[in-house]
Amino acid sequence: MRFAPKSIAVYSVGLLGGSIGAGLKESGYAGRIIGLSSPKSLEKALAMGCIDEGHSYDALKDVVSGVDCLFLCSPILAIMETIKASVP
């Protein structure tokens, strides 16, 4: 069975997350790429075409429940805190 995600979320669309989104687009990925980040980063990522849709960090639970794959592109300590805050 081949993994073919229809939607991918990128948590933090700065240099790393934006590059992942851009790379997916460049490779021909046809699914939806959803970014979670600061308003400034989302605006830039949308303008550059790295993501199809953007949400603030506080939408993590809602976004993650509807995607097939999640890339965490923040420093590890920030990721750990996010996971602790997101898991009941």
- For 4-39, write each residue's pLDDT tens digit: 899 999 999 999 999 999 999 999 999 999 999 999
* Alpha helices, H only, 3-75: 15-26, 39-48, 60-64
- Which domains are present in the chain? 7-80 (3.40.50.720)
Q: How confident is residue 88, by pLDDT bands cut at 50, 70 and 90? A: low
Query: How confident is the model at residue 70, as a pLDDT?
Result: 93
Q: What is the largest CA-CA distance in the chain?
A: 39
Helices 15-26 and 39-48, axial angle in degrees (round to 10): 20
- 8 A C-beta contact, residue 12 and residue 37: yes
- For 55-87, write each residue's pLDDT tens digit: 999 898 899 999 999 999 999 998 888 777 766
